[in-house]
Structure 1
Amino acid sequence: MKPRAVWNPRDLLSAGVIVLTFFLLWELGVRLLDMPVYLLPAPSRVILTLFQNTSLYAQATALTLGEALVGLVLGLSAGFLLASVLVLRPGLEGGVMTLAILVKSTPMVAIAPLLTLWMGFGVLPKIVITALMTFFPVLVNILTGLQRTDPALLDLFRAWHASRWETFIFLRLPSSLPYLFAALKISAPLALIGAVVAEWTGASGGLGRTMWLAYTNLNLPYLFAAIFILAAVGMFLYQFLAWLEARAVFWQVPRQD
């Protein structure tokens, strides 16, 4: 079965029209209301700022994206390993999930300054914050996917006298792939947010640092330029994961006419 395209021409045209209309209305509203640039810059002013400071934003984006991706990989690995342990040892689920919810309920804005104080102003605290933000969605989604295996297939594996590990590897893991990609599509944008929030608490570079400096100086074109980049990178990551899902889990991804 050939996997469907994530975007067809109709989707691309519709998305382009919606986005273009939004920015045109924004531009028109700013000009008609004569909005001061320190309150809301026009999109044209923001794009001009991006082109005038390409090197600055390229370096900041590379740093923030690197922190986000490393943190995402760590959060994914921890969530996947812990979910696997909970499936193989169900008696641990109550205590472990309680601890995981406690970590999730703790505001990252409160943890980030502490990690910066303990680990310094390098990339390490940013990676840890990103991993903490992405860990819980991955854990919950993968655990759900591993547990929601077709009962008929489980009975079939039991009839074949498959071991717990064989059932886990050849049945539960493939069945959990849609949940894994759902977790990734949620966690990838969260990873960017985590990296930016961590950079606000203290960093020598990155988009978070750029946004903080722009905010303190009321330089909103610089601030919105960083926001535009984060939005674009987030959309790219989401679409890349959707494209990957369409090929890895093609039997469960519905076709679009």
Structure 2
Amino acid sequence: MRKVWIRGGKSVLFLLFLFILWEALVRITETPMWLLPAPSDVIKEAVIGFDTFSVHILSTVYLAILGLVIGCSVGLLIAIILYRLPKVNELLYPLLILSQNIPTIVLAPLLIIWFGFGMMPKLMIISLVCFFPIVVASMDGFRQTAPELKHYMQMVGASRNQIFWKLEFPHSLPSIFSGLKIAATYSVMGAVISEWLGAKKGVGVYMTLAQSSFRIDRVFVAIFFVMLLSIVLFGMIRAIEKVVVKGRNEGA
């Protein structure tokens, strides 16, 4: 625990150094705010305009979390189906890989045309960027179960379902949580992209309006919030991982 705090403290100090350097360079070169605002200007705008920005924050947080839950649930279900049914895996896994080569920025307008400007296309966009890391990480975790343990369970008469749920699934939890942490950062990005293409409120909308009016300080406020939300979601999943995986290990 002490090592974690030391490493975290070093990262915070380095980040603080970067902000100070940024502030100094902007002040020395007298860079105009519409080109590159100083960190102090960004913080000032975040405080002054918080009442306006808070409405957009709630919308993006709701979208990101709901899309993350849906995407991860679907991804885990697909991973279990592909692992348990090898023939289905041979048929669908290449298609899943191909689906990730379609740029989200191209697919999003099509989803909006097909499903309108409601919640569904936004959640579909977020789910699409979240589910693939879960599928890959989960399947890798299932495959990495020690073969001698599987052989032992087969010797004592365990069924295939029992081997999966009592051995392979618990052993895959570290890999599943690795996929969840990646998906958590993707969910915020997916939420912002979906808001760019059709929404009444959200950080993506706030960012677009700020950009069109050359309020670059507001653009940086939105960028910093996206980064902060990604870190918070990552930290939450990491905290859950420590409880769940530790509990599994102690149970074993």
Using the size of structure 2 for normalisation, the TM-score is: 0.94
Q: Structure 2 matches for 1:142-181, cutoff 5 A? A: 142-181=138-177
Q: Secondary structure at the match of 1:203?
A: coil
Partner of 2:69: 73
CA-CA distance at 1:53 after TM superposition:
1.2
> What does residue 59 of structure 2 align with?
63
- State how 1:167-246 maps to structure 2 within 5 Å: 167-246=163-242
Give 3-state SS (helix, strand or coil) of 1:249's partner: helix
Q: Classify 1:136/1:6 alpha carbon distance in 2 versus 1 (closer, same or farther; 3 Å).
A: farther
Distance 2:19 2:67 in 1: 32
d(CA) in 1 for partners of 2:84, 2:127: 24
| Contact 1:68–1:192 under 8 Å retained in 2 | yes
Among 94, 98, 105, the residue aligned to 1:102: 98
Deviation at residue 176 of structure 1 after TM alignment: 0.7
1:71 Cα deviation from its structure 2 partner: 1.0
**Residue by residue, what CA displacement relative to the aligned partner does 1:191-235 show, whole Å, maximum 9, x if unpaired?**
000010111111100000111111111110111001111111111
Q: In the alignment, residue 18 of structure 1 is paired with which amino acid?
A: F
Q: Distance in 2 between matches of 1:122 and 1:77?
A: 21
**Does the CA-based 8 Å contact 2:79-2:138 persist in structure 1?**
yes
Query: Larger RCO: Structure 1 or Structure 2 (Cα < 8 Å, ≥ 6 residues apart)?
Result: 1
- SS of 1:250's equivalent? helix
Q: 2:245 maps to which residue? A: 249
Cα contact 2:134–2:176 (8 A) shared by 1? yes
1:54 positional shift: 1.1
| Residue 30 (str. 1) matches residue 30 (str. 2) | no
8 Å CA contact 1:6, 1:246 repeated in 2: no
Cα distance in 2 between the residues matched to 1:103 and 1:18: 38
Which 5+ residue runs of structure 1 have no aligned equivalent? none
Measured in 2, the distance between the counterparts of 1:252 and 1:162 equals 20
Distance 1:24 1:96 in 2: 50
Distance 1:7 1:199, change over 3 A: farther
> What CA distance in whole angstroms lies between the structure 2 residues aligned with 1:9 and 1:149?
32
Task: Give the Å deviation of 1:98.
Answer: 1.2
SS in 1 for 2:246: coil
CA distance in 2, matches of 1:58, 1:88: 45
Deviations 1:8-59 (A, max 9, x none): 4313321221111111111111111111111111111111111111122222
State how far apart, in whole Å, the 1-side matches of 2:137 and 2:14 are.
31
RMSD of aligned residue pairs (Cα, Å): 1.7
More displaced, 236-245 or 41-50?
A: 236-245
Q: CA deviation at 1:7?
A: 7.0
SS for the counterpart of 1:105 is: coil
> What are structure 2's unaligned runs of at least 5 residues?
none
Deviations 1:163-216 (A, max 9, x none): 111111100110110011100110101000001011111110000011111111
